């Protein structure tokens, strides 16, 4: 008799718990399935648009590494933005031609990598113009974008040029740590939609890192675009030409 009473009491308690769970919708299985489906959500599903990110390469071209990068980007269907120094363009004509042919955006990074804020106005202006001319001679187009070395520029100079200044939001310091895995991990961890990633194609490790970054972020749903396709970004200081 005593055993039967215990069984009945236990059944009543279980029934009460089930009724409470049903009323408050707190069935553990249900909660778990919501959690799982959230975790499986692709980043592109969250806003209904494809998240965009821009890869930028400074200080090149490199006769040693840039062609490998161009080949890797083409294979992956990626367009990037290259900020070239004028002095390197003179012996990299073939590479610059290929950049243009592959649909990449070519920008200006001054002729000898000067700090525009610390250089005299006339000299700074000449550095920008000479680089624009060197690029135009090969591509037939004057660059629209300027990446100032060290992120420094002179406001007066900017006012007088019709170029847009392009800064960056993800800097893995690839010049300091020459390790492709370390650089790729840093970028993958901190990249968000709308970011502009800074790398240097004069290092073999940065080229390897760039391709790892593309593979990983493409698998997360990111689309790689050139800087002119990064909209509403405070990283691009646009000149309004009237
Ligand atoms: Zn630079």
Active-site residue identified among 195, 200, 201, 208: 200
In whole angstroms, give the CA distance from residue 189 to residue 31.
Answer: 28
Catalytic residue list contains 58: yes
Span from the CA of 37 to the centroid of ligand 1 (angstroms): 43
∠ CA 111-115-116, nearest 5°, is 80
Question: 105 and 221: one domain?
Answer: yes
H/E element, 164: strand 164-166
Catalytic residue list contains 109: no
Structural domain count of the chain? 2
**CB within 5 A of ion ligand 1: which residues?**
58-59, 149
Which residue has tokens 């236990």?
10
Mean pLDDT (whole number) for 63-78: 98
Q: What is the pLDDT of residues 22-35, one digit of tens each?
A: 444 433 333 333 33
Question: 88 and 208: one domain?
Answer: yes
Give the pLDDT confidence score for residue 91 in this predicted structure: 93
Q: What is the pLDDT of residues 98-127, one digit of tens each?
A: 999 999 999 999 999 999 999 999 999 999
Measure CA 28 to chain center: 40
Instruction: Report the CATH number that the domain containing residue 102 is assigned in CATH.
Output: 3.20.20.370
In whole angstroms, give the CA distance from residue 146 to residue 140.
Answer: 17
Question: 184 and 225: one domain?
Answer: yes
Question: 54 and 69: one domain?
Answer: yes
Question: 127 and 93: one domain?
Answer: yes
Give the pLDDT confidence score for residue 42 in this predicted structure: 46
Question: 57 and 91: one domain?
Answer: yes
- Give the dihedral sign, CA 163/169/174/180: negative
Q: What is the pLDDT of residues 58-68, one digit of tens each?
A: 999 999 999 99
Residue 80 lies in domain: 46-229
């Amino acid at each position: 008799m005593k055993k039967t009473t215990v069984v009945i009491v236990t059944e009543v308690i279980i029934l009460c718990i089930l009724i409470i769970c049903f009323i408050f919708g707190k069935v553990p299985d249900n909660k778990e399935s919501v959690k799982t489906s959230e975790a499986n959500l692709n980043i592109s599903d969250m806003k209904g648009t494809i998240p965009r990110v821009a890869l930028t390469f400074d200080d090149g071209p490199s006769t040693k590494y840039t062609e490998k990068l161009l080949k890797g980007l083409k294979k992956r269907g990626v367009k990037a933005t290259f900020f070239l120094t004028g002095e390197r363009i003179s012996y990299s004509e073939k590479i610059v031609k290929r950049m243009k042919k592959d649909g990449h955006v070519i920008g200006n990074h001054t002729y000898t990598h000067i700090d525009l804020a610390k250089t005299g106005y006339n000299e700074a202006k000449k550095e920008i113009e000479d680089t624009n001319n060197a690029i135009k001679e090969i591509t037939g187009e004057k660059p629209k974008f300027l990446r100032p070395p060290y992120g420094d520029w002179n406001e007066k100079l900017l006012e007088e040029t019709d170029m847009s200044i392009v800064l960056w939001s993800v800097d893995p310091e690839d010049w300091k740590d020459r390790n492709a895995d370390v650089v790729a991990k840093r970028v993958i961890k901190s990249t968000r939609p709308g970011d502009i990633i800074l790398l240097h194609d004069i290092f073999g490790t940065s080229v390897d890192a760039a391709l790892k970054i593309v593979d990983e972020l493409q698998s997360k749903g990111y689309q790689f675009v050139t800087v002119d396709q990064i909209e509403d970004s405070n990283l691009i200081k646009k000149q309004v030409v009237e």
